[in-house]
Structure 1
């Protein structure tokens, strides 16, 4: 019997994201990165230390975590979520003060790809296992909880 070696390629990883995780991912034609366009999937990006506090708050409150991406160079985390956040203009100044961004519909979100293992650009803090993504409203509540209680969320 032949020993077949399976390799993780951008195409195979993209297929996994699409089929197993329900993420409408594609491969950027010029850059070769795996991307997801925000819309059917929402996303909130924040500084890594705040992201760690939000993640810990969710765990402390026994809320199931969804996919979280670490962008190592910018030291930011992106939480993938359901796109159920209100389009409320009063929300933007609050988030701006915290250096938090709601990824707008149509914007590209770079997902961890096989090459990132070697280059260290991005990796999963919590990898997607299925189609589950938490409500953006739950993430916003956890974010507010962490920022009103100070650094020890």
Structure 2
């Protein structure tokens, strides 16, 4: 969907969801997923916020373990199951609000549950 006033491009979360996290953690998650052969990944960068958003299959169930929820909260990992997901504009963006880190090249989207599991694994390793 394109907002006619701002030119902002969004898609409604539904079959596709998103997992947003700080760039440092996202680099490690991407590397881990690449090593596991989970590709191609579609990733939106938010340079000013120093965050990346992975577009994923919306198969993420609520996390029941309070310790895992706390680790994700501390790591600033955000799961988007509902609402709008902001995408980069095809026109030059002088403010660099959003950019493609890894643009869409196919209909494949990794499992959101796998992306979350990977982020939790990396945050657990960092705590040790």
Q: TM-score, normalised by structure 2?
A: 0.86
Question: Does residue 141 of structure 1 match 2:117?
Answer: yes
More strand by share: 2
| Deviation, structure 1 residue 147 | 1.5
Matched residue, 2:28: 53
| Deviation, structure 1 residue 116 | 4.2
Matched residue, 2:58: 83
3-state secondary structure, aligned to 2:81:
coil
Unaligned runs of 5+ in 2: none
Q: TM-score, normalised by structure 1?
A: 0.73
| Deviation, structure 1 residue 118 | 4.2
| Deviation, structure 1 residue 71 | 0.4
Question: Does residue 95 of structure 1 match 2:72?
Answer: yes
3-state secondary structure, aligned to 1:115:
coil
Unaligned runs of 5+ in 1: 1-25
2:72–2:120 contact (8 Å) kept in structure 1: no
Q: RMSD in angstroms over aligned alpha carbons?
A: 1.9
Between 1 and 2, higher relative CO (CA 8 Å, sep ≥ 6) is seen in 2
Equivalent of 2:4, from 17, 29, 32? 29
Residues 10-29 of structure 1 deviation map (CA, whole Å, 9 limit, x = unaligned):
xxxxxxxxxxxxxxxx1023
Matched residue, 1:110: 86
1:84–1:137 contact (8 Å) kept in structure 2: yes
Q: Which runs of 4+ in 1 moved over 4 A?
A: none
